[in-house]
Amino acid sequence: MLKIHGVTRSRASRIIWLCHELDLPFEQVPVVQSYRLADPLDEGAPLNTLSPGFLRLSPAGAVPVMEDDGLVLSESMACTLHLARKAGPPLGPADAAELALMEQWSFYAATAIEPDALTILFLHGRGQAQSGEDAGLVAEAGERLVRPMRVLDEHLGRHGHLVSDRFTVADLNVAEVVRYAQGYGALMGQFPAVEEWLAAAQARPAFQKMWQARLAEPE
């Protein structure tokens, strides 16, 4: 059986969402990010990204890690693209051209959107009081995101989905990145096609199943 190492409150959420879309059974090993623990090396600490057993599996000390029939794979988008490629349409590619486009959009999100979206998530999206400095950093991140988000908005406004005429792993990967910034109305309100597309993606039963499991985990 497929094994996913990582709590759902991590980028493992992308793999778990996809598994639900594909009706693919999996075993989840709830490895916690070490930065969330006061003393991750304490004897009584839960399994985490600095635990020796996990580091033997993932020398980088990062979740998620996926085991699939002898293949040990890290990097969440590599994992989702691998599973979607194995499964084929509708979530996966029908041919090499579709695979290339799914990779293109996934990597675009990871490089052009995710860093600044994470800044917004950590400094704004969690509802914590913001210092003046934090508010400035959020505003700067939002400004940098206008250009890549406009690219996404214009494409979605014309096509509705990122690849072909259906929901695919590309939509899933990019939606999970854009989610980090979706609580920042000053940014998202500029891009109605992105907001509509994201709402539709998050209304899917497979996303809702993943999200309920995520909410059930400790913060």
In tens digits, the chain (219 residues) has pLDDT values of 999 999 999 999 999 999 999 999 999 999 999 999 999 999 999 999 999 999 999 999 999 999 999 999 999 999 999 999 999 999 999 999 999 999 999 999 999 999 999 999 999 865 554 667 788 999 999 999 999 999 999 999 999 999 999 999 999 999 999 999 999 999 999 999 999 999 999 999 999 999 999 999 998
What is the fold, at CATH topology level, of the domain defined by 2-87? Answer: Glutaredoxin (3.40.30)
CA distance 152 to 117: 14
Quote the pLDDT of residue 178: 98
Residue among 40, 24, 139, 176 at smallest CA distance from 92: 24
Domain boundaries, the chain: 2-87, 96-204
For domain 96-204, the CATH class is mainly alpha
Residue among 123, 163, 2, 164 at smallest CA distance from 69: 2
Quote the pLDDT of residue 135: 87
Q: Which amino acid is at 15?
A: I
First to last CA, the chain: 28
Cβ burial 9-43 (10 Å sphere, 16+ → b, else e)? bbbbbbbbbbbbbbebebebbbbbbbeeeeebeee
Q: Do 2-87 and 96-204 have matching folds?
A: no
Quote the pLDDT of residue 126: 59
Quote the pLDDT of residue 131: 65
Query: Other CB atoms closer than 10 Å to residue 162's CB: what's the count?
Result: 26
pTM of the model: 0.94
Which positions ≥6 away from 38 have C-beta within 8 Å? none
